[in-house]
Structure 1
Amino acid sequence: MNNLEEKIKVFAISNQMAERALDQLENKFRIDLGRNALTEKKSDKDEAYYPQFDHDIRAQARDMAVHYELFYCLEVSIRSLVREKLKAELGSAWWDKSEIPDGVRKNARENMQRDIDSGFTQRSDHEIDYTTFGELAEIVRKNWQHFVDIFNSEKAFNRVMHSLNLLRGPIAHCSPLAEDEVVRLRLTMKDWFRLME
């Protein structure tokens, strides 16, 4: 091996060691040094405002993002499941034909009207999209006869939905989840999918 090849080899090894050290630094201090900017997609963060927030708040947001995404997928999929199942059982006017508590109907109507009155883009044309997570559980409970072929136990459904509703609080209201609650969220998600086995 000639002198130039030796220098290139030493440079490459030094570079790998530096990259590893920077990885450890980023992990230890929970920072992003932007070293992967060319290989990763452009960030969706608003670069005019995001950097103005405290580092610890940004780190918490990064940690909580995965839980928010998980819960977003869960809640939207439950809404879709309820809508499609009741529509299949009762027809396109299922919202009017199904057993939905008056308070849930009233709340959905008021939330829908609030969107209209705000002048902002209306989030949906469907009342169910204006229900809370807890109200979704109420709709299923009141219409349980239509869901017995999907969920294997009404008691288990109620327990899982209760746990999910409690876990949703800190996620939806921008509070960090404690380590125990992260574990509980993962276990409760497993319980959710086990309900449909």
Structure 2
Amino acid sequence: MARDDGLKIFLMTAQLMEEDLDTVEQDLALDLGRARNASTGEAGDYYPQIEHAFRAEAKEMAPHYEVFYSLERTIRALVADSLEAADGAGWWNDPSRVSPRIKDDCEARLKKEEDTGVTLRSEDPLDFSTFGELGQIITSNWDVFGALFKSEKAVTRIMANLNTLRGPIAHCTLLAEDEVVRLRLSVRDWFRQME
């Protein structure tokens, strides 16, 4: 076999392996750290113009955002699924389950977003609740959630910690090293309450 043929076979094998890894990443929703370019889409044209320090901070904060995003989505699903199982699909409109203030505030946020003309993030008003409001819904429906958690006071404390930690994550500032530890512990505390 000629040297050029060997090189061609090597490159083709490498390309096939890359495609297989792409499939694995996509199927399992994994990031194996193989990204070829940090920029995506049209915004990538401008990404190099952003200060390197800010890009480095963003990379550092990305895992914390991912944890918080996933946790908040998990808590929203838990609230919706639990209350629907207890009361049916109309639980959102029951003032004994969701206070009129929370319901009105969430629906106002949904309407405000709708009025901007952008694609709605969701048509479910619960997706427009704040983290603090989610905590209030859980604790004010302890008859439903008490079977899932060990302690109402602990859930209130954990939700308050998470709500405080959410600020820097959601508003694009660095999370201090101590707060990274606190985030990890708060997430553990949350799931430990459900054991």
Instruction: State whether TM-score is above 0.5.
Output: yes
1:130 equivalent in structure 2 = 128
1:69 offset after TM fit, Å?
A: 0.5
* Secondary structure, aligned partner of 1:47: helix
**Number of positions where the alignment pairs a residue of Structure 1 with one of Structure 2:** 159
5+ residue gaps, structure 1: 1-38
2:175 equivalent in structure 1 = 177
1:41 equivalent in structure 2 = 35
Q: Is the 8 A contact 2:91 2:97 kept in 1?
A: no
TM-score for the superposition, normalised by structure 2: 0.78
TM-score for the superposition, normalised by structure 1: 0.77
Identity %: 48
Out of 88, 94, 108, the residue aligned to residue 85 of structure 2 is 88
* Secondary structure, aligned partner of 1:114: helix
The one-letter amino acid paired with 1:135 is E
2:71 equivalent in structure 1 = 74
Out of 173, 176, 193, the residue aligned to residue 191 of structure 2 is 193
Cα RMSD, aligned residues only: 1.3
2:137 equivalent in structure 1 = 139
2:54 equivalent in structure 1 = 57
Partners of 1:113 and 1:169 lie apart in 2 by 24
Partners of 1:100 and 1:83 lie apart in 2 by 11
1:15 equivalent in structure 2 = none
